[in-house]
Amino acid sequence: MMIRTVVFLFAFVLISFGGFSQTEARWVLDQNQFKNPGFHEATITLTADQDSSISAGWKLYFNTIFISVSSVSKLPDTEIKHLQGDFFVWEGQTPEIKKGQSLKLSYRSSGPFLKNSYAPEGLILLHADGRIEEVRQYTREEISDSQLAEMAQNTSLPIPSGEKVYEENQGISLLDPSDIPPFLPSPKSWKYTGEPLKTQNAGMAVIGSSEFREVTKYLLLTLKQGYAPKVNREEPPINIKVQRVDGLDEEAYKLSISGRRVDILASTEKGAFYGVQSFLALMPPHFWTEPSDEFVLPQLQIEDSPAYEYRGFFLDVARNFQTKEQIFKILDLMALYKLNVFHFNLANDEGWRIEIPGLPELTEFGAKRGFSTDESEFLWPYYASGVSPIIDSPGTGFYSVSDFEEILAYAKARFIQVIPEIGVPAHSRAAILAMEKRYKSLVAQGREEEGLEYRLADPKDQSVYLSAQNFRGNTVCVCQESTFRFYEKVVQEIKNRFERVGLPLTSWHTGGDEVPRGVWSASPICAEFLANHPELKLEDLNDYFRQRVAGILEKYDLNMGGWEEIGQTHSSNEVVPNPKFADQSWTLYAWNAVAGWGGEDMAYRLANAGYPVVICSSANFYFDLAYNWSPDERGHTWSGVVDMYQSWKTVPGKLYLSHDQTIDGDLWDWEQARQKFTTLTDLGKQNIRGVSGQLWTETVKGPEMLEYYLLPKMLGYVERAWVGDPEWSSQESLDQMRSEREIEWNVFLNVIAQKELPRLETIHGGWNFRLPLPGVAIKNGRVLVNSPLPGFEIRYTDNGTEPIHESPIYREPIPVFEGFNPRFKLFMPSGKSGRSRGLN
């Protein structure tokens, strides 16, 4: 088995004066054990430049969230010190590395090594003379699927071998276009009434009811992007009407195309907008690349409405920033797929991303990441975001007042509600440090009282804790009024942005998750507060804080939302719904649903207790989870893995049907799960507001990576958000369910392959979606290959080289011969391809 080596070239930055050097580094996995206990060992080899040595006393900084904070250095007299989050330093009595020579830095970490992207990254060498060098020549050896399978052979980890994928693809077949829905999400009812009508250089009249003026304008402007006829007066015109009718639900619409007449009917602007989106979804892929004088009108009738009022998409821009332009593109994608809530996470430990007038330190300090030894001028370079705080990197950036208002206006035009999230009391380190920066600056000016106004920390707090993401000092002091003044200031300023663009702000997300154990336990301010409030105990402070924040939001007519923790409490070491707040209409986002951990039905328990709930199941709708267990697929695995199938087969109304395996790869028995699952009461059913898909960005380094994580994985979620429970879930027997699920999955895959991916390749400037690997098996001395996407070509080579668009097409089993070293790859008609697969 050959180990692959990947080279990472990073920009070289020399911050302090000194000579130019080119240190090289190489990472190798030495040992990987999955059980009894699980651990891995690895080595970073540092090699000095041929022309200059590395003097003793150097320190090596690096990033990774995938080793233990107590990892052990095997180099004598040195240690690996955890600083914050994913940022570490290797320090101690580090020896001289002479010119051209190397030094091995080996370490041991608890937990097995799973992904090639989990190796340390962002290496920064701090020389003994203070010179800072971002290591620009860094190679990391990679393990293959077969190597990881060998390492994990005594576990049930489902690594996607070529043979396993081949078996999974066996039920996939190409369907006639007339037998599949015209687009996603699938309309409630649809019927083709004839062959598509093609016109050339026909005139077009777009007319809308007076109530639908803006929607009609949106349609007209969009059509002009792809249709540019030289009008032929002898060619009958195309007539498109966007009309208001009574009797349809708020988001419902009807779409009818008969001959050259298009009717889009709705009772509201929102319904009309979704009808327009469906009409635009019928346009061929080339419509979105260059204007044409030809127009195609499918002949059909559609009646449609959504299953859920809340169809959300959550995006974290705090961990790694996304530009305003990329947010526009995300909003366009949401509109295309009829998602109506953009949950916008604007702050976290690793960054503050929105300008707040009057508090410039939040962005001057909290929106920048770069290297320093003390984190005094900006945040550390979490997630390998680079040495410099001013270069274009995902670590640095924020939305100005005008940027944010543009985003809001863009969302408003697409009927998308925006819910800002400023998470408290935890996940607040960027804000805490920014307000400490403000305090110290004002004290130096003799303005201490002003500095105290928005302070978030107790400077004498000695509480010892570590957050879920390995941060210390990331939780605000809830026992001082300045914390509440700060939060109200932020709420007020952000609400002002909404009011300026005329977009109603009705809901606010407070985060509230993952408050570390041990917070406030050694805070003098909290000790004094509790002494003055004998009715409260230390364990009551979280509830006290939530109630105070809810009061602030009520003052501004905002509904309070938060992750499920804000509606939970502990009883006999079990997490249960908190009855204290069940009558206050707080919307809870139920996320912690790791398959096999016992909390998969928490959404139901909270809804039954009286809380409005949005289902955000981590095991189904967390798009930052890796597509599968292949070491080549980036992403988290803490809640298992999520691909398009995992999100598509979710059953929000019967969540126990949403899994086939536990996170450990063991069988998930539907009947056993049903018996243990909480059943939704009538009240609980009313409290399920909808669903949300999430993308956290710890491992997302830019727009292309973001798009790869989302697509096509997100499309399974899009179907569930609009359609609701799949039809197969209503079958009587488990065998019928599985049989019908396979049939419905095949239909869905045909829509993906024939409709959605060709359009996503061109619309909105094109999307960087993932194409899966083909299945490959050897049977009776022949290689059999199949596609996970019906109708897509598989091309191959037989000598180990990468297939290209001109390579032969796989059409039938290939006999194995001596020296046969094939590679197989999936291709779209345009030539776009995925990664290749060999025989192992």
Catalytic residues: 514
Which residues, listed in sequence order, are joined to residue 588 by a DSSP beta bridge? 562, 613
Cα of 777 vs its chain's centroid, Å:
33
651-675 b/e with 16+ CB inside 10 Å = b?
A: bbbbbbbbbbbbbebeebebeebee
Residues in the chain: 840
User: What gap in Å lies between CA 505 and CA 420, rounded to an integer?
Assistant: 9
Phi and psi angles of residue 623, each rounded to the nearest 5 degrees, phi first:
-80, -10
Residue pointed to by tokens 């923790």: 565
- The CB density around residue 96, as the number of other CB atoms within 10 Å, is 14
Phi and psi angles of residue 95, each rounded to the nearest 5 degrees, phi first:
-85, 165
Distance separating the N- and C-terminal Cα atoms of the chain: 9
Residue 100 DSSP symbol? T
User: What gap in Å lies between CA 543 and CA 586, rounded to an integer?
Assistant: 13
Cα of 90 vs its chain's centroid, Å:
31
Which amino acid would we find at residue 154?
A: N
Alpha helix positions (H), 445-540? 448-452, 481-501, 524-532
Phi and psi angles of residue 446, each rounded to the nearest 5 degrees, phi first:
75, 25
If DSSP codes are grouped into helix, strand and coil, which group holds residue 326? helix
Tokens at 659, concatenated: 């899994």
Tokens at 162, concatenated: 């070529």
Cβ–Cβ under 8 Å, residues 342 and 317: no
User: What gap in Å lies between CA 12 and CA 661, rounded to an integer?
Assistant: 45
Residue pointed to by tokens 């065998």: 735
User: What gap in Å lies between CA 123 and CA 26, rounded to an integer?
Assistant: 11
Residue 517 CA: distances (Å) to CA of 3, 464, 483, 726? 42, 9, 20, 40
Tokens at 270, concatenated: 């929102």
Which residues, listed in sequence order, are joined to residue 24 by a DSSP beta bridge? 47, 137
Residue pointed to by tokens 């000194």: 18
Cβ–Cβ under 8 Å, residues 563 and 615: no
Tokens at 225, concatenated: 């992007």
Residues ≥6 apart with Cβ < 8 Å to 316: 345, 348, 694, 695, 696, 697
User: What gap in Å lies between CA 377 and CA 204, rounded to an integer?
Assistant: 59
Residue pointed to by tokens 């020579």: 101
Task: Work out whether the CA dihedral 607, 517, 348, 315 comes out positive or negative.
Answer: negative
Tokens at 749, concatenated: 């895959």
Query: For the purposes of burial, counting CB atoms within 10 Å of the CB of 323, is it exposed (0-12), middle (13-18) or buried (19 or more)?
Result: middle
Query: For the purposes of burial, counting CB atoms within 10 Å of the CB of 170, is it exposed (0-12), middle (13-18) or buried (19 or more)?
Result: exposed
Residues ≥6 apart with Cβ < 8 Å to 107: 41, 42, 43, 44, 67, 71, 72, 73, 74, 80
- Give me the numbers of helices (H) and strands (E) for the chain, helices first please: 21, 34
738-775 b/e with 16+ CB inside 10 Å = b?
A: eebbeebbbebbbbbbbbbbbbbbbbbeebbbbbbbbb
